[in-house]
């Protein structure tokens, strides 16, 4: 009788292993910076999907430093303790060497937010063997953002704009900035007063906007790729005497602060990246790769969110139950 029970238990365990419910593997998530709200929300998505599929996870803090992140990937790979890798790259080109080492070791690896490789608008794997890219191409999204400013500025001459980018040291932010400037430059009535760096931080965004407002006046619109730094810029604008709802405010990320500001009419729009959904989709592909199931190699987050990527008040009015996937 005991032998029969043991055989039955083994059969159940084998069934569970085959279904992925009790896979028992461990997945490493390499955050661009683990204290960053967007990265935290991405990791939440990774954790939830991992738990549902029977995997453990661990997060590593890239500190917004490409060299630190590269070394982390190498060290974690050398430890032999992880079965799959997910990375939010700080340097989408420079990290390729570490990704190649992971692939050579036979471990699946997915990239989130940005592709790995020189073509930031291509979601197809640029490093042979990469498991999945779950990201939003920077140029289409940045173009849509800038076109929102153009529409607002149509009846203003001049229309004075401030751009608050994340950081120029990041290739993807440089590409976004170039796209913003290219679109806005096509309209003679639009004048870019200044370009600042917010480093994805409310505090840094506040300081950067304060400095730019001291040197420039009569601002009509602020264009940013990150809601976190826009939250700080909002404080600086109000402190400088602006009635923020009168301005055109475009953020990026669809953080809670942006969704609430848009609902109230204070801000105008944000370009969503849906970090929690993105993390879950990346983890799903890693689990599928480990378990020998079909994998989606290229997932465009502009098309995968619960609502459309460019969120304004009309979108929120049509989707009253929408909840932001991260704080800021």
Give me the mean pLDDT over the 232-253 stretch.
98
pTM of the predicted structure, to 2 decimals: 0.84
Residue with structure tokens 């459309």? 308
Alpha helix segments (H runs only) across the chain: 2-19, 37-53, 66-79, 96-104, 138-152, 171-185, 202-215, 227-239, 256-264, 275-290, 313-318
- Can you give the pLDDT at residue 24? 60
- Can you give the pLDDT at residue 37? 85
Instruction: Inform me whether the pLDDT recorded for 8 exceeds 70.
Output: no
Kindly indicate the confidence band of residue 321, based on its pLDDT and cuts at 50, 70 and 90. very high
- Can you give the pLDDT at residue 173? 93
* Length of the chain measured in residues: 328
Kindly indicate the confidence band of residue 9, based on its pLDDT and cuts at 50, 70 and 90. very low
Mean of pLDDT over the chain:
92
Instruction: Inform me whether the pLDDT recorded for 250 exceeds 90.
Output: yes
φ/ψ region of 292 (left if φ > 0, alpha if ψ in -120 to 50, else beta) reads: left
* CATH architecture assigned to 139-272+309-318: 3-Layer(aba) Sandwich (3.40)
pLDDT 10s digits, 152-174 = 999 999 999 999 999 998 888 99
- Can you give the pLDDT at residue 169? 86
Q: Percentage of residues in the chain with pLDDT exceeding 70?
A: 93
CATH superfamily membership of 2-136+274-296: Response regulator (3.40.50.2300)
pLDDT 10s digits, 186-218 = 999 999 999 999 999 999 999 999 999 999 999
Give me the mean pLDDT over the 44-58 stretch.
98
Neighbours of 209 (CB within 10 A): 28
The candidate with the shortest Cα–Cα distance to 131, out of 85, 96, 92, is 85
- Can you give the pLDDT at residue 171? 85
Domains 2-136+274-296 and 139-272+309-318 in one fold: yes
Instruction: Sketch the domain layout of the chain as residue ranges.
Output: 2-136+274-296, 139-272+309-318
Kindly indicate the confidence band of residue 36, based on its pLDDT and cuts at 50, 70 and 90. confident
Give me the mean pLDDT over the 170-179 stretch.
93
């Amino acid at each position: 009788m005991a032998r029969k029970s043991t055989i039955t238990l083994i059969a159940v365990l084998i069934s569970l292993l085959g279904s992925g419910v009790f896979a028992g593997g461990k997945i490493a998530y390499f955050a661009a910076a683990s204290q960053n709200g967007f990265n935290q929300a991405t990791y939440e998505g990774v954790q939830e999907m991992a738990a549902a599929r029977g995997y453990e996870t661990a997060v590593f803090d890239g500190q917004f430093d490409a060299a630190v992140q590269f070394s982390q990937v190498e060290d974690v790979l050398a430890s032999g303790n992880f079965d799959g890798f997910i990375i939010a790259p700080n340097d989408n080109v420079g990290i390729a060497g570490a990704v190649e080492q992971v692939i050579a070791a036979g471990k699946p690896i997915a990239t989130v937010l940005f592709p790995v490789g020189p073509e930031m608008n291509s979601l197809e794997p640029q490093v042979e063997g990469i498991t999945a890219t779950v990201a939003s191409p920077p140029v289409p999204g940045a173009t849509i953002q800038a076109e929102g400013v153009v529409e607002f500025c149509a009846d203003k001459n001049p229309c004075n704009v401030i751009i608050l980018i994340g950081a120029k040291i990041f290739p993807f932010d440089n590409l976004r900035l170039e796209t913003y400037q290219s679109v806005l430059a096509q309209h003679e009535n639009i004048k870019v007063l200044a370009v600042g760096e917010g480093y994805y931080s409310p505090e840094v965004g506040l300081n950067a906007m304060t400095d730019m407002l001291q040197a420039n006046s009569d601002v009509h619109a602020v264009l940013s790729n990150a809601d976190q730094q826009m939250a700080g810029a909002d404080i600086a604008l109000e402190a400088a005497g602006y009635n923020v709802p009168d301005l055109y405010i475009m953020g990026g990320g669809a953080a809670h602060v942006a969704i609430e500001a848009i609902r109230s009419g204070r801000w105008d729009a944000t370009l969503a990246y849906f970090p929690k959904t993105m993390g879950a989709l990346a983890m799903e592909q890693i689990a599928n790769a480990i378990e020998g199931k079909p994998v989606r190699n290229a997932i465009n987050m502009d098309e995968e969110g619960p609502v459309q990527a460019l969120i304004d008040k009309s979108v929120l009015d049509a989707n009253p139950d929408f909840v932001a996937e991260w704080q800021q």
